[in-house]
Structure 1
Amino acid sequence: MEISMIILFIVGYLAIAMEHITKVNKAAVALLITTCLWVLYALIAPESAPVQILHQLGEVSSIVCFIFGAMVVVEMVDRYGGFSLVAHIIKAKNRKLLLLILSALTFFMSATLDNMTTTIIMIAIMYKLIQDPTVRLWFASMIVLAANAGGAWSPIGDVTTIMLWVKGNVTSEAIIPHLILPSIVSLVVPLLLSLGKISGNALDDPNAGAFEEGERLYPQVTRIEKAIISAVGVLGLVSVPVFKALTGLPPFMGVLFVMGLLWLITEIMYTKHKEISESNKLRIPKVIKVVDIPTVLFFFGILMAVGALQEQGLLKELAGKLDSMTQNVYLVTGIIGVLSSIIDNVPLVAAAMGMYPLADPVVVEAGTYAAAFVQNGIFWELLAYCAGVGGSLLIIGSAAGVVAMGMTRISFGWYMKNITWRAFLGYIAGMVTYMLLF
């Protein structure tokens, strides 16, 4: 039965990869995969399956709610011109310089914000500046790479680094100085290799992509009101990590609070603007209708599918086989990084943390294989780097990639042909940089 689960996942994964050929929406495939995998798991463990599926549903739903809420908030800010203002502030005169600026902003933003939120915000800004569909694909891809690289060196930048940090496997004093340069290298290499694909010296007109609805609203809705909506949305998203730290509640609660606050503000605002026709009122319900729900469902399906594999113990078995094959820390973490582009990096890192317990530096001899597993050991730092940056190797290998896939229509095949090899060279270059430094 376990073999059947593996085969089913692989077949489904291939179907998702060939979406541009089959013309079957990846969300449909993901939902079918997850249902079939959980049915197989229920046949294997009929007593525990109902409990475990609820456990996985809780974790996955929190992520899906976060994505949905963030997409609604960003769409709301965008509709009211919030990102147009940022687009006007960026003074780049050519596309290549703009790509470098947006990549750098994304890299450092994702060190404090989560990768998904950073990607959503930066792609929304990019849309105000770039109108060419093909160029947008390159920009969005580099934003994904920058978001994943930026989240790898910060203890709060990515879910996996947060896991390692909270559990005490790494400390902020060590991971930041040790991983920031390898992370920069992992981004700079594919970025430089992609500049040749970005042609044109003149920047697209930032006003070319203005939202028609926003233009119709402009005479009635004041600039102050638009500024308030934009400020509440952006500052609300930026403050989500603070909300989590203060309350201990999951991030999606913070995002839902921001969405509810924007909803309340716009409802009150439109009670004063009775001259605006109902069809032109940009309330939250209207914005929700244009959010890419299939992408949200795809994310739900693929995470639940991976959850079924995790509950069956297949991911932990995979980690065990890696350990039995070799005790080379660089090789093991490198393979985990590559796998994180196929399988969600969160359960992979969780499996690795369970497979390799934190070693006591008092009883471990320096320079031995076991020394790599002490706090701030090579294994844990490389695990943070590889799991984060490795997710960029495939477009569906990270939350940032999945979000970008929905927002810009990047196909799996296009990304694999144009970005994967560039990202892989950057991934290896970053690891080599770490090896030379430490």
Structure 2
Amino acid sequence: METIIVIVFVLGYLAITLEHNLKIDKLIPALAMMALLWAIIALAHMPVFEVNTELRELEPSHIDEILLHHLGKTAEILFFLLGAMTIVEIIDYFDGFATIKGFIKTKSKRKLLWLFSILAFILSAIIDNLTATIVLITILQKVIKERETRLWFAGIIIVAANAGGAWSPIGDVTTTMLWIANKVSALQLIEHVLIPSIVCMVVPVLVASRFKVFQGQIDGSLEEEVVKSKYGSTMLYLGLGAIVFVPLFKTVTHLPPYVGMMLSLAVVATFAEIFSKSKFNITTLDGGEGEAAGHHSPVHHSLSKIELPSILFFLGILLAVAALESLGILFHAAGSLNEAIPNTDIVVMLFGIGSAVIDNVPLVAASMGMFSENMDNPLWHFIAYSAGTGGSMLIIGSAAGVVAMGMEKIDFFWYLKNIAWLALIGFVAGAGVFILMRDFVLNV
């Protein structure tokens, strides 16, 4: 039966990978795969196990107990993401991200390249790489009119955003997964991965800044951003501060991160409700102002805008991987992999390259079931770096790349020819710095 389990998983995985070719949203195969795997386990009465990380062995369990265990762990991630997404949408409701355009004062293409790269790196560490890419490409479309030039900027933004998300526990879904699962702590993750991530971003930008496309100045004048809400800047800084507060809350209280995120959401939502009261009058409640009439509360409006398909995809893929973990397949696969490739650095770098081809979420979920190293072992930090930055090598290899592809209609082969090699040298340079720091500087 294990063979059937593996076949179902591989077929589901292929359907997720070939999402664009099949024209089927990846949440569909993810949910179907998850349900089928657990159904096969239940109907075949297959024995399930829980990995004992201290003893590094499998302990027998009951299917109801282990399914509830994995559902609880998955729910922690999902509610954390729901909270973060809602805060970001509340900021957008007040047009808070328009404040960022105010930082752009130069017309020099090279300076703009560095400015957008640094903004992508910092923003992605706070609001995640996907949202940071959406925000910056929206701004990019207002600043640079020439499409060919804009494509190059968008490609570098993808690389910088993925690098920025790798070192922060709230910057990428994969690092969030490792953080919530107590594989890494926020401070140790930053200490080990920040500098390699900076290198991963700086090297490609340094090389690209010498290209002809980034010489000279942009055409036209910089347009002044029309402020839609006087509370935009306030909500931007409040929202970003609330998200950054979450790791601090976890450190102090030792409660799961989603608890802190719910507190942050409650605070941001309270201010949103207060600030929005002056924006609505009796005509709005009577249905006189279109879309706003259906969402007289900014919180209700923001909740209706969050990406539920992504949430369902994570539910499906995480519980599908949990099925393989519960059968002990991932545990035994790790042993076989270590025998075939004794050097774990090579294995983790292959994970990074693999994340460019297939989704990094199931890769990291699988690695969490394969390895039983203790919290803050350098292996987990290297996995966070590789999975977070490796996806930049193909435009379909990360959520940031996929959304940029849609917003700017970037051709797969154009990205492969022009940006992929820059992402590769950044990935390798950052990985080299990580290994040097681990072995000679941090001495772990």
* TM-score with structure 1 setting the length: 0.73
Question: Any idea what the Cα deviations from partners look like across 1:138-161, whole Å, max 9, x if unmatched?
Answer: 666645543443455578873477
1:65, CA displacement in angstroms? 1.9
* In structure 1, distance between residues paired with 2:274 and 2:169: 39
**Between 382-391 and 16-25, the greater mean CA deviation after superposition:** 382-391
Query: 1:27-106 to 2 correspondence within 5 Å?
Result: 27-45=27-45, 48-94=62-108, 97-106=111-120
Q: 1:95 to 1:244 in 2, by over 3 A?
A: farther
Aligned residues: 401
Does the 8 Å contact 1:30/1:302 carry over to 2? yes
Does the 8 Å contact 2:101/2:225 carry over to 1? no
* In structure 1, distance between residues paired with 2:165 and 2:276: 39
1:324, CA displacement in angstroms? 0.8
**Between 402-411 and 248-257, the greater mean CA deviation after superposition:** 402-411
Partner of 1:234: 240
* TM-score with structure 2 setting the length: 0.72
Question: Any idea what the Cα deviations from partners look like across 1:311-365, whole Å, max 9, x if unmatched?
Answer: 22222222211211132343233234345554535444434542x679xxxxxxx
The SS at the match of 1:249 is coil
Whether 1:402 aligns to 2:379 is no
The SS at the match of 2:107 is coil
Partner of 2:257: 251
* In structure 2, distance between residues paired with 1:156 and 1:259: 15
Partner of 1:288: 303
* In structure 1, distance between residues paired with 2:241 and 2:20: 37
Partner of 2:368: 350
* In structure 1, distance between residues paired with 2:313 and 2:38: 16
Q: 1:8 to 1:93 in 2, by over 3 A?
A: farther
* In structure 1, distance between residues paired with 2:194 and 2:265: 33
Question: Any idea what the Cα deviations from partners look like across 1:132-190, whole Å, max 9, x if unmatched?
Answer: 7888776666455434434555788734775899779x994x983x6555433333444
1:43, CA displacement in angstroms? 3.5
1:257, CA displacement in angstroms? 2.7
* In structure 1, distance between residues paired with 2:150 and 2:321: 30
Q: 1:407 to 1:86 in 2, by over 3 A?
A: same
Partner of 1:298: 313
Does the 8 Å contact 2:90/2:269 carry over to 1? no
**Between 179-188 and 190-199, the greater mean CA deviation after superposition:** 190-199
Partner of 1:324: 339
Q: Match for 1:264: what amino acid? A: T
* In structure 1, distance between residues paired with 2:85 and 2:187: 32
Q: 1:335 to 1:22 in 2, by over 3 A?
A: closer
Q: Match for 1:350: what amino acid? A: M
**Between 191-200 and 78-87, the greater mean CA deviation after superposition:** 191-200
* In structure 2, distance between residues paired with 1:209 and 1:118: 24
Does the 8 Å contact 2:393/2:423 carry over to 1? yes
* In structure 2, distance between residues paired with 1:140 and 1:45: 50
Does the 8 Å contact 1:95/1:201 carry over to 2? yes
Q: Match for 1:41: what amino acid? A: I
Q: Match for 2:96: what amino acid? A: G
The SS at the match of 1:239 is helix
The SS at the match of 2:30 is helix
Whether 1:130 aligns to 2:137 is no
Partner of 1:274: 281
Two-structure CA RMSD over aligned residues (Å): 4.3
**Between 246-255 and 72-81, the greater mean CA deviation after superposition:** 246-255
Q: 1:296 to 1:385 in 2, by over 3 A?
A: closer
* In structure 1, distance between residues paired with 2:37 and 2:207: 40
Q: 1:244 to 1:78 in 2, by over 3 A?
A: same
* In structure 2, distance between residues paired with 1:316 and 1:244: 29
Does the 8 Å contact 1:119/1:403 carry over to 2? yes
* In structure 2, distance between residues paired with 1:412 and 1:12: 27
Partner of 1:260: 266
Q: 1:61 to 1:105 in 2, by over 3 A?
A: same
The SS at the match of 1:34 is helix
* In structure 2, distance between residues paired with 1:44 and 1:204: 67
* In structure 1, distance between residues paired with 2:311 and 2:396: 13
1:383, CA displacement in angstroms? 4.7
Partner of 1:361: none
Structure 1 vs Structure 2: percent identity of aligned residues? 33
